[in-house]
């Protein structure tokens, strides 16, 4: 049986990073539906992220996206975050929105465009120096739509050269987390399409490069927990971008489409003793709240991850390992399913109360009046968003 006190302690220590961009107007590449009260500045995004942390107790950091969160003084922005009870987390780059990047950024055949893209990566490391951020999050939309459009091997060489330049700029305390995506916007060949490609580049770079798994960036039916287990075994899993999808990169709320998959992923994390912040994995939400209210959706996503984590912590691993060693297929599956089918909401309610929080964060947020205040206060100016 799982030690209940140890389970509760692990849940109290859990940390989930929220993304600044999810608080602004965001959605699909076809339409972004504007909402009243969304942030207009990086400071207002941080204030909303701090609100999520205030009601959940496990979201103490907020990731920035450059240039969406560009400011003149990053040290002041970092101080503002601390004053609001959170800290700045991963710095995410953007080499996919400029017209120059139509044929790619760091893999573009034009050396001037590659230079521009790589300079942006170096700029992001400069920002990390000022914010105290550990992680440089890299995602590239680079790829091809047609066979013969460009040379596949040359593009990998260009990618490696740019990554090397960024890697060599890192301090000893900083690292790269390299994300991958199966497709979109490139439909024939994506330059970093899967975990194997990301892993190979990270191995080539060195110990300060790790893989970032976005749970929506896989073909349907992909066994994501196997990828998690493999990368953990190799010491190369650096970050998660949690979301949920029915078809592809839907970017829906974590745990919404397949909560059982989220449980299986979190079991592999618990199995490897990799849940604690001291292990070094950056667990982050990466979602687009197009039709639902931003802050309650993020609070709910945090709660969904907490529930999957609690169930994973309740797996009787001694009994499971024994059944597995004996080749007892049905018993092994039953032990896992017993934990998954446990209603952990009362347990999480106790954990929150022990942290001095309301056991129901969504209800507490609704009662707080924060949503009404930001709708009333955030009038005028330009709302933050993708501009799609």
Enumerate the domain spans of the chain: 15-296
Residue identified by tokens 């909402």 is: 35
Q: Which residue, 32, 350, 38, 129, is CA-closest to 49?
A: 38
Output DSSP code: residue 99: G
Cα distances (Å, whole numbers) of residue 193 to 184, 215, 329: 10, 13, 34
Question: Taking the model in full, what pTM does it have?
Answer: 0.96
Q: How far apart are CA 37 and CA 52, in angstroms?
A: 15
What are the pLDDT tens digits along the chain (388 aa)? 789 999 999 999 999 999 999 999 987 777 889 999 999 999 999 999 999 999 999 999 999 999 999 999 999 999 999 999 999 999 999 999 999 999 999 999 999 999 999 999 999 999 999 999 999 999 999 999 999 999 999 999 999 999 999 999 999 999 999 999 999 999 999 999 999 999 999 999 999 999 999 999 999 999 999 999 999 999 999 999 999 999 989 999 999 999 999 999 999 999 999 999 999 999 999 999 999 999 999 999 999 999 999 999 999 999 999 999 999 999 999 999 999 999 999 999 999 999 999 999 999 999 999 999 999 999 998 898 875 5
Query: By the 8 A CB rule, do 182 and 211 touch?
Result: no
Q: What is the CA radius of gyration of the chain?
A: 21
Spatial CB neighbours of 313, under 8 Å, sequence gap ≥ 6: 2, 6, 7, 10, 11, 270, 275
d(CA 89, CA 67): 15
Q: Are 192 and 201 in contact (CB under 8 A)?
A: yes
Does 67 sit behind a cis peptide bond, omega within 30 degrees of 0 on the bond before it?
Answer: yes
For residue 195, CA distances in Å to 138, 242, 291 come to 13, 15, 31
CATH of domain 15-296: 3.20.20.150
């Amino acid at each position: 049986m799982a030690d209940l006190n140890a389970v509760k302690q692990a849940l109290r220590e859990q940390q989930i990073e929220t993304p600044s961009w999810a608080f602004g107007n965001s959605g699909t590449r076809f339409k972004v539906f504007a909402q009243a009260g969304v942030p207009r500045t990086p400071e207002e995004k941080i204030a909303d992220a701090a609100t999520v942390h205030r009601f959940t107790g496990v979201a103490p950091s907020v990731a920035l996206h450059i240039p969406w969160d560009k400011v003149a003084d990053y040290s002041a922005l970092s101080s503002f975050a601390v004053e609001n009870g959170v800290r700045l987390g991963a710095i995410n780059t953007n080499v996919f929105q400029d017209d120059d990047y139509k044929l790619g950024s760091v893999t573009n055949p034009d050396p001037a465009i590659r230079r521009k893209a790589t300079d942006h990566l170096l700029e992001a490391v400069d920002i990390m120096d000022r914010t105290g951020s550990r992680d440089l999050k890299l995602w590239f939309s680079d790829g091809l739509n047609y066979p013969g459009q460009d040379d596949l091997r040359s593009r990998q060489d260009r990618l490696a050269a740019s990554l090397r330049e960024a890697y060599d700029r890192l301090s000893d305390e900083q690292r790269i987390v390299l994300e991958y995506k199966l497709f979109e916007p490139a439909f024939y060949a994506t330059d970093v399409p899967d975990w194997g490609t990301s892993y190979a580049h990270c191995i080539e770079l060195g110990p300060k490069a790790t893989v970032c798994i976005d749970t929506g960036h896989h073909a349907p039916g992909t066994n994501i927990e196997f990828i998690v287990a493999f990368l953990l075994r190799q010491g190369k899993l650096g970050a998660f971008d949690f979301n949920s999808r029915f078809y592809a990169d839907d970017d829906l709320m974590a745990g919404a489409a397949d909560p059982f998959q989220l449980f299986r992923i979190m079991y592999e994390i618990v199995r490897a003793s990799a849940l604690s912040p001291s292990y070094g994995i950056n667990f982050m939400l990466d979602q687009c709240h197009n039709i639902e209210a931003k802050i309650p959706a993020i609070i709910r996503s945090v709660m969904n991850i907490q529930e999957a984590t609690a169930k994973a912590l309740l797996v009787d691993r001694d009994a499971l390992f024994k059944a597995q060693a004996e080749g007892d297929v049905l018993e092994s599956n039953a032990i896992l399913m017993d934990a998954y089918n446990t209603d952990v909401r009362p347990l999480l309610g106790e954990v929150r109360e022990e942290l001095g929080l309301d056991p129901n964060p969504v209800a507490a947020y609704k009662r707080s009046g924060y949503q009404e205040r930001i709708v009333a206060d955030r009038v005028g100016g330009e709302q933050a968003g993708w501009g799609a």
